[in-house]
């Protein structure tokens, strides 16, 4: 009888399993306006990774080396050489969390590095990491306030939610009606 090593039946870890808040990934972020140009690969900051019944999703913040004005309350700047090196950013970069999207970790917009097989470029550190957590706290607080407000509105309506229904005839609006569901 020979000793055989135990067989590992678990699937190998993938970049999706190892993705965390604070990672910087290469992603084809959609343009703000429609146009003929395809989205270019740019750094995006992972604000959250959420597990749902249908899979894992990441909330990504838009990254740019053009520090145009944006809502300062939602900006995470990576300026120092040391912080940029850890995040694998060549230029000072601003992540704008007011411009964020939620995507499946299977989304084709993730640009995988040919040798590493992962879109993860690096991680935030230092002041940028602390700033990211402040921005995330603001986003989560605003979401909780919105949910609380909607819950109070729903309770006032007897647990029912008003929904506006639009009736159309040959692509023209004919009537609007608000129903409670």
- Provide the CATH number for the domain around residue 35: 2.30.30.110
Q: What CA–CA distance (Å, rounded) separates 14 from 8?
A: 16
User: Which stretches in the chain have pLDDT values below 50?
Assistant: 1-2, 11
Q: Indicate whether 4 belongs to any domain.
A: no
pLDDT at residue 1, rounded to an integer:
47
| Domain of 109, in residue numbers | 15-154
Residue 37 lies in a domain: yes
pLDDT of residue 32: 75
Using CB atoms within 10 Å of the CB of residue 165, give its burial: 0 to 12 exposed, 13 to 18 middle, 19+ buried. exposed
Residue-wise pLDDT tens digits, 83-98: 999 999 999 999 999 9
Q: How far apart are CA 146 and CA 159, in angstroms?
A: 17
Work out how many domains the chain is built from and give that number: 1
- Indicate whether 9 belongs to any domain: no
Tell me what pLDDT residue 167 has.
72
Dihedral angle of Cα 29, 31, 34, 36, to the nearest 10 degrees: -80
3-state secondary structure of 148: helix
Is residue 127 a part of any domain in this protein?
yes
Cα–Cα nearest to 62, from 16, 34, 29: 29
CA angle 14, 15, 19 (to 5 degrees): 130
| Neighbouring C-alpha atoms within 13 Å toward the C-beta of 177 | 8
Flag whether 8 is in a domain. Answer: no
- Check: CB of residue 24 under 8 Å from CB of residue 88: yes
**Is residue 174 assigned to a domain?**
no
Please report whether residue 140 resides in a domain. Answer: yes
DSSP for 55-100, written as a single string: EEEEEEEEEESS-----GGGEEEE-SHHHHHHHT-SS-EEEEEEEE
Residue 70 lies in a domain: yes
């Amino acid at each position: 009888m020979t000793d055989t090593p135990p067989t590992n039946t678990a699937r190998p870890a993938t970049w999706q399993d190892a993705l965390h808040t604070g990672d910087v990934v290469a992603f084809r972020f959609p343009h703000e306006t429609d146009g003929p140009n395809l989205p270019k690969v740019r750094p995006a900051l992972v604000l959250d990774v959420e597990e749902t019944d249908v899979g894992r999703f990441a909330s990504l913040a838009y990254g740019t080396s053009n520090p145009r004005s944006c809502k300062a309350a939602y900006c995470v700047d990576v300026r120092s050489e040391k912080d940029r090196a850890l995040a694998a950013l060549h230029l000072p970069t601003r992540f704008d969390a007011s411009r964020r999207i939620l995507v499946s970790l299977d989304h084709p917009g993730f640009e995988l590095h040919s040798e590493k097989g992962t879109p993860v470029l690096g991680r935030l550190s230092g002041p940028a990491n602390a700033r990211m957590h402040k921005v995330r706290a603001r986003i989560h607080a605003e979401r909780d306030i919105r949910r609380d407000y909607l819950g109070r509105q729903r309770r006032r309506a007897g647990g029912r939610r008003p929904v506006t229904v639009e009736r159309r005839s040959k692509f023209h609006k004919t009537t609007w009606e608000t129903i409670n569901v």
